[in-house]
Amino acid sequence: MRDIRYGACGSLTDVTMNRMAAQMFEAQGYDFMIWPDQMGMTIPRSIWTPDIAPGSEVFDIDTNFDAWALCADAAAHSERINLGITVNDAIRRGPANYAQMVLTMDHLSQGRYFHGMGAGEIRHFKPYGLARNKPFTHLEESIKIQKLLMDADGPVSYDGPIWSLDKAVMTAMPYGDKAPPILVAGGGRAMKIAAEYADGWITMLPAAGDPDHYAAQVRQIKRWAEEAGRDPEALRFYALILGLICASDDETEAVVNHPLLRFDSIALIPDVNVFNSWGIIEHPIRPDYNYSRDIISTDWSREDTLAVIDKVPPSVVRRARACGTPKQVADQLQPYIDAGLDWLNIINYAAFVGSGNFADSAASLALVTETVRLLRERNGQPIPEGMAGAAASGAAL
């Protein structure tokens, strides 16, 4: 039986709810939970209005408390569930800062922390007066230095293109036998960095490609790891699952036609070549669209946003998201597991177009839990008692 793990996302908008979520996910038998280290979302504020998003009267789409503090609080109020921040960028903080923070979180969680790194997205830099220069060089070198510092038992010297260390000291030891794993997010060069220096790779599915495309990426990463003298079978293959999980076909049809999700489905596209291969439309933002480079939600007027939405048919949403009932979504995800995916972080984006109230949020999470239960069943994994109970009751909280 493969060690396939399933995770959920903590609350970024409410500290108390985040603590409750950590305890709930642990009780239900989830393997891990994560927080993205972000300042805002990709959905334009200009359409986060009650006429389009009823939840806008309950919470602000761009409210994001600090992921590290939320993770630390969850660590203090849980015992078993693994915890990760996915992903951090290599520009807003230096590698020595990360090494210290990772080791601290390793001890706070008693060995349950894992660390995600990526090249970063322009929405977290430009609005705050930061430049996104040489992001992949920063990423590669940051991981090298983090590992050097966390593995060293004395002063470390290093000379690189971005940072240099001169007898730098990081003598805090890992909680266990080794430092927490580092997973790298992104396509292209990030895949090679993951293979050569990290402990796993993160992507977004299904937006980043179909199962055959994903299988080819997994094989390529394993080849690069082997060429670098590393054990390819030790790598973790993690995906953020962009889900639209609904209770019925009618609800799914309404969701894939929703204007907010039609915009989000073309904003969160990691590889425009994959998008173009669908043969539905040319990318409506720009032909060479790059998610990390091109989307800043506050730059979008309501008029421009609605004009783009008008170009996006629901068939695009169905390709960019795992859509349907829990059984239908499980059917769509199983081929990725067969292709090598072993960590699934399933997010139900349908919650963004709900009322925003507690009952709707709980129902949305219950659909995720049922999807996980079905996948565990299909892959011969035991069903945790808490997960079976949540699925049977139809309530997540």
Place 393 in a pLDDT band, splitting at 50, 70 and 90: low
Domain for residue 142, yes or no?
A: yes
Count other C-beta atoms under 10 Å from residue 178's C-beta.
Answer: 12
Place 177 in a pLDDT band, splitting at 50, 70 and 90: very high
What average pLDDT score do residues 198-219 get? 98
Domain for residue 255, yes or no?
A: no
Question: Which residues are CB-contacts of 218 (< 8 A; sequence separation ≥ 6)?
Answer: 237, 339, 340, 341
**For residue 394, is pLDDT > 60?**
no
Q: Which domain holds residue 346?
A: 5-247+327-393
Q: What is the pLDDT of residue 392?
A: 56
Which pLDDT tens digit goes with each residue over 63-115?
999 999 999 999 999 999 999 999 999 999 999 999 999 999 999 999 999 99
Domain for residue 222, yes or no?
A: yes
C-alpha pair distances (Å), 159 with each of 119, 124, 166: 21, 28, 8
Domain for residue 268, yes or no?
A: no
Which pLDDT tens digit goes with each residue over 341-371?
999 999 999 999 988 777 788 999 999 999 9
What average pLDDT score do residues 261-281 get? 96
Domain for residue 140, yes or no?
A: yes
Domain for residue 286, yes or no?
A: no
**For residue 220, is pLDDT > 60?**
yes
Domain for residue 31, yes or no?
A: yes
Q: What is the pLDDT of residue 325?
A: 99
Q: What is the pLDDT of residue 283?
A: 97
Question: One-letter amino acid identity for 29?
Answer: G
**For residue 172, is pLDDT > 60?**
yes
Structural domains in the chain (count): 1
Residue 110's Cβ-side half-sphere holds a number of Cα atoms within 13 Å equal to 8
Q: What is the pLDDT of residue 358?
A: 73
**For residue 315, is pLDDT > 50?**
yes
pLDDT averaged over every residue in the chain:
96
Q: What is the CATH number of the domain that holds 127?
A: 3.20.20.30
Provide the token pair at 85. Answer: 């921040």
Percent of the chain scoring above 70 in pLDDT: 98
Q: At what angle do helices 15-28 and 385-393 cross, to 10 degrees?
A: 110
**For residue 32, is pLDDT > 70?**
yes
